[in-house]
Amino acid sequence: MKKSVFLGALTVAGLAAGAAAAGTIDDVKARGKLNCGVTTGLVGFAAPDANGEWGGFDVGVCRAVAAAVLGDPNAVEFVPTTGKTRFTALASGEIDMLARNTTWTFSRDVDLKFEFVGVNYYDGQGFMVPKELGVSSAKELDGATVCIQTGTTTELNLADFFRANNISYEPVPIETNAEAQPLYLEGACDVYTTDASGLAATRAAFENPGDHVLLPEIISKEPLGPLVRHGDNEWGDVVRWTLNALIAAEELGVTSANIADLSASAGDNPEVNRLLGTEGNLGEMIGLDADWAQKAISAGGNYGELFEKNIGENTPVGLARGLNGQWTDGGLLYSPPFR
């Protein structure tokens, strides 16, 4: 039976090969579901709740794209990926897009043949140490044991930083953030290093968060963003401009509360009108309905709302906007104009 199933699968594979030649956007529409790669679990960014519903900041991007393309924020098949399986899953076509706090780097973009469509979170690698260690700067960490996730850019950044400062360290390799917490708390390592957002989330879950400090040094740039495969520019445009729509909506003051009123008829602000499809034909250009951006924003709110709901200061993760504020507020978020 195994043999026949295998041969059957090969036959089906042969038939499907013809269909797969069409663009990703047509595949997604034909399937009626978006296959979105997410992490197997990161506090605030992506995790299923007690009812099995995925939620989080990265998940919000998936839902916005699904809403823009298919009109339904729940038409998403979340495919959990680990740091090791994420790129093959995308390259092989198992998923249509990857929204998994993945750092945009030269080699991933150029060599691995992916297309980063933008940045949804500007992160940077930081250090957390117990207060009783009495360290106030990362440069005093000579000879420290450091817990670090393998297979990530943080590993390489750490080596670069310590070499540049001519100090030594002892790495303690770990697989996931969940493993790092007990190791760090038991004192298996003096320092835990990962993206500053992850450190904040980890510290928030400690019994006594006040006993641990984040060091001031941020030793790397970690622009995290969604990505798609090289070579399918139509699909890349859809994901890129859905993300831009969320960012622009915050800048233009379009929220999930007032979006129904704003999109009922054309208003005074022409850019809002173009964004929401009450004026112009941007939807037609991108190959979607005129109200695509409206649906994307309604899915979970604009960028600021997604941020506040999942990782903002009122959540257990408790991140400040910082670099991720709008450019008008001194942050780095700057959506190209909808014109």
Partner 1 sequence: MDNKDIFYVREQMLPEQAPPATQSGIVKWMRDNLFSSWFNSLLTLVAIYFVIKIVTGAFPWFANGVWVSNSLAECREILQGKTGGCFAVLTERWHQLLFGFKYPDDQYWRPTLAFILLFVAVSPVLFIALPRKMLIFTGLYPFLAFWLIWGGTILIPVLVLVGFIVGYIIFTRLEAQSFAMAALGGIIGAAVIWALSGFVTSAASGVLALEAVPSRDMGGFMLNMILGVVCVSLSLPIGILLALGRQSSMPIIKWICVVFIEFIRGVPLITLLFVANVVLAYFLPPGTNFDLILRVIIMITMFSSAYIAEVIRGGLAALPTGQYEAADSLGLDYTQATRLIIMPQALKISIPGIVNVAVGLFKDTTLVSVISMFDLVGMIRGPILASTEWNGVYWELWLFAVFLFFVICYGISQYSQWLERQLHRGHH
Give the nearer residue to partner 1 in terms of CB position, either 8 or 336. Answer: 8
Nearer to partner 1, 78 or 241 (CB): 78
Residues in the chain: 339
Contacts with 239 (C-beta within 8 Å, 6 or more apart), sequence order? 65, 97, 117, 226, 228
DSSP-assigned letter for residue 210: G
Nearer to partner 1 by Cβ, of 1 and 164: the residue is 1
Q: How far is the CB of 9 from partner 1 (least distance, A)?
A: 5
What is the number of H-type helices and E-type strands within the chain? 14, 14
Give the separation between CA 143 and CA 234, rounded to whole angstroms. 50
Which helix (H) or strand (E) segment is 49 a member of?
Answer: none
State the minimum distance, in angstroms, from the CB of residue 307 to partner 1: 15
What's the one-letter identity of residue 316? P
User: How many Cβ atoms sit within 10 Å of the Cβ of residue 262?
Assistant: 22
For the bound state, the minimum distance from the C-beta of residue 168 to partner 1, rounded and expressed in Å, comes to: 30
Cβ 56 to partner 1, closest distance in Å? Answer: 9
CA-wise closest residue to 90 among 72, 117, 67:
117
By beta-carbon proximity to partner 1, the closer residue of 248 and 311 is 311
Rama region for 85: left / alpha / beta (φ>0; ψ in -120 to 50; rest): alpha
For partner 1, the closer of residues 179 and 329 by Cβ is 179
Report yes or no: 275 and 254 within 8 Å, Cβ to Cβ.
yes
The whole-angstrom separation of Cα 336 and Cα 339 is 9
Q: Using the minimum distance from each CB to partner 1, give the nearer residue, 203 or 274.
A: 203
Q: Which is nearer to partner 1, 14 or 337 (CB)?
A: 14
- Partners of 103 in the β-ladder: 224
Minimum Å distance from CB 54 to partner 1? 9
- Cβ of residue 251: shortest distance to partner 1, in angstroms? 28
Among 102, 65, 55, smallest CA distance to 81 is for 102
Interface residue list for partner 1 (CB under 8 A) = 1-2, 4-6, 9, 12-14, 16-17, 19-20, 27, 39-44, 46-50, 52, 77, 79-82, 84-85, 88-89, 91-94, 175-179, 181-182, 201-202, 204-207, 315-317
Q: How far is the CB of 94 from partner 1 (least distance, A)?
A: 6
